[in-house]
């Protein structure tokens, strides 16, 4: 009897129906951020977009995303013109809510198209395995939590990213891949984290021949194309001398090392150790900066002083990020192929997430999504992917803190993890190298311990402490998730250099 497997289209239809049911769900301040951007781009001249500050949620994405908001605003007039008034702060009529929620779903068509293209062009794994990986991305709990409840437009941008990655699979698509990625950078600058991998891969495969001879025509086409795209995005603002103002909005280093809720990275572990040392240091004779005792855990943006450990500067973050990105890029330059390219993109995402300055917890998708495309290459890849899939998605739970959304985030994420990790386990081919038996045991232990941690952070803490020590469950969730992300990173580094 022939087995029937769901297609991307089938899953997209079912997912859309579920997402529509979530229209009345909790929405974060990001909902008001994007409503304000609709108003700014629709009501004000182009030259005022990056200076407007009536709302505290000022426009801080690159121009292509601002143009994207302008296009949406032309349709928003038909839904509710009141949402397009700059001074109408906090406006959330049901027409506004339904319109903004629907646009997130509609623009995800880019993601669906890119994933379908990925399946059709699959070479490394079977079509069935590629389809499983694609559906896991489409139904990602991360995208559901961040885009369809919390509220953002990551789906369309990850669709553009995957499209760029798939185009890079064939030599004939390298130029278009680079140009699509350049356009993505002009939509959201967080993708700069992945740019070094693109630079090395395109340089090695498109600008150089196999014998390291420079292909001058290819260099010209790629360079002129990228300049043209950035010119379209930033050119109008450059004519008015507004580039410094835009850069100030895009790169606000004054926000501090850690986001208000720590992203699960090295600095979350560093901050946790500092919290522990506050109690241990006096017994060891170490000095404690009393003015910094509460600075990290009270969640204030820009407040990142440590009580015992040395403070961390943007230069330290940049140096560490660059160092750990350079390691896989050397291998990519010497042995350029598509799998190595996706691996390097993933590792660049890891490095930036783990060591970057003021990293948001939502940036973990920069690692999970590209890794998903090669997680089924063999068992060793899957071993490194498992702890990331668990810790990365669990780390997003604190974004939804209202009781109504509690069962949604828990049940949906657990169902996704069980379904896809079991499916991946059946489909991943064996590796030619020894499996990570010790690492697999670490993953099992890690997942086992995460269960009581989730229960404590989500339910028991409030029962025991009420509203006291509110940052404690956040700290535990972030720090413990960081262990999983770091462990996954180390495992994948080993896989990348021994494959």
Say how far apart CA 152 and CA 192 lie, in whole Å: 19
Which contiguous run of DSSP H or E holds residue 69? Answer: helix 63-79
Secondary structure letter of residue 359 according to DSSP: B
Say how far apart CA 492 and CA 137 lie, in whole Å: 19
Specify the pTM.
0.93
pLDDT of residue 99: 97
pLDDT of residue 289: 77
Task: For the chain, give percent helix, strand, coil, nearest 5.
Answer: 70, 0, 25
Which residues fall within 8 angstroms of residue 427, CB to CB, at 6 or more apart?
Answer: 125, 126, 128, 129, 132, 376
Say how far apart CA 262 and CA 483 lie, in whole Å: 13
Secondary structure letter of residue 377 according to DSSP: S
pLDDT of residue 125: 75
pLDDT of residue 341: 97
Say how far apart CA 130 and CA 280 lie, in whole Å: 50
Domain boundaries, the chain: 8-239, 314-498
Say how far apart CA 45 and CA 73 lie, in whole Å: 14
pLDDT of residue 291: 62
Q: 387's torsion region: left (phi>0), alpha (psi -120 to 50) or beta?
A: alpha
Say how far apart CA 307 and CA 25 lie, in whole Å: 39
pLDDT of residue 5: 63
What are the residues facing 208 on neighbouring strands? Answer: 214
Label residues 61-74 b or e (16+ Cβ within 10 Å = b).
Answer: bbbbbbbbbbebbe
- Those residues of the chain that have pLDDT short of 50 are 1-2, 298-302
- Number of other residues whose CB lies within 10 A of the CB of residue 426: 9
């Amino acid at each position: 009897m022939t087995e029937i497997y769901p297609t991307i289209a089938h899953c997209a239809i079912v997912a859309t129906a579920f997402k529509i049911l979530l229209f009345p769900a909790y929405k974060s301040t990001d909902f008001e951020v994007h409503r304000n951007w609709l108003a700014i781009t629709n009501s004000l001249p182009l030259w005022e977009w990056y200076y407007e500050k009536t709302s505290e949620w000022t426009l801080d994405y690159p121009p292509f995303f601002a143009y994207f908001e302008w296009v949406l605003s032309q349709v928003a007039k038909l839904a509710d013109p009141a949402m397009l008034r700059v001074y109408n702060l906090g406006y959330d009529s049901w027409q506004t809510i339904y319109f903004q929620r629907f646009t997130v779903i509609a623009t995800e068509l880019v993601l669906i198209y890119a994933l379908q293209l990925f399946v059709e062009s699959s070479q490394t794994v079977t079509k069935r395995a590629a389809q499983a990986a694609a559906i896991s991305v489409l139904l990602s709990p991360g995208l559901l939590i961040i885009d369809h409840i919390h509220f953002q437009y990551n789906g369309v941008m990850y669709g553009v990213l995957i499209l760029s990655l798939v185009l890079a699979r064939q030599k004939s698509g390298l130029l278009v891949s680079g140009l699509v990625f350049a356009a993505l950078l002009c939509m959201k600058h967080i993708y700069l984290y992945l740019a070094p991998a693109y630079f090395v891969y395109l340089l090695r495969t498109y600008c150089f021949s196999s014998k390291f001879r420079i292909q001058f025509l290819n260099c010209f086409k790629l360079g002129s194309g990228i300049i043209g795209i950035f010119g379209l995005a930033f050119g109008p603002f450059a004519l008015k001398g507004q580039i410094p103002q835009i850069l100030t909005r895009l790169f606000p280093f004054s926000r501090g090392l850690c986001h208000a809720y720590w992203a699960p990275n090295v600095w979350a572990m560093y901050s946790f150790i500092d919290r522990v040392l506050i109690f241990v240091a006096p017994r060891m004779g170490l000095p404690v900066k009393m003015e910094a005792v509460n600075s990290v855990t009270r969640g204030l943006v820009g407040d990142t002083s440590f009580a015992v450990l040395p403070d961390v500067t943007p230069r330290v973050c940049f140096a560490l990020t660059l160092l750990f990105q350079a390691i896989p890029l050397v291998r990519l330059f010497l042995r350029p192929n598509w799998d190595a390219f996706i691996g390097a993109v993933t590792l660049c995402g890891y490095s930036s997430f783990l060591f970057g300055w003021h990293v948001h917890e939502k940036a973990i998708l920069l690692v999970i999504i590209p890794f998903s495309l090669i997680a089924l290459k063999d068992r060793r890849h899957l071993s490194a992917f498992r702890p990331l899939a668990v810790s990365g998605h669990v780390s997003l739970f604190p974004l939804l803190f209202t009781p109504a959304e509690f069962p949604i985030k828990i049940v949906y994420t657990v169902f996704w993890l069980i379904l896809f990790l079991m499916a991946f386990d059946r489909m991943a081919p064996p590796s030619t190298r020894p499996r990570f038996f010790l690492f697999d045991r670490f993953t099992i232990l890690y997942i086992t311990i995460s269960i009581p941690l989730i229960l404590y952070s989500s339910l028991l803490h409030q029962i025991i402490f009420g509203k006291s020590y509110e940052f404690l469950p956040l700290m535990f969730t972030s720090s413990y998730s960081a262990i999983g992300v770091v462990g996954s990173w180390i495992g994948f580094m080993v896989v990348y250099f021994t494959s």
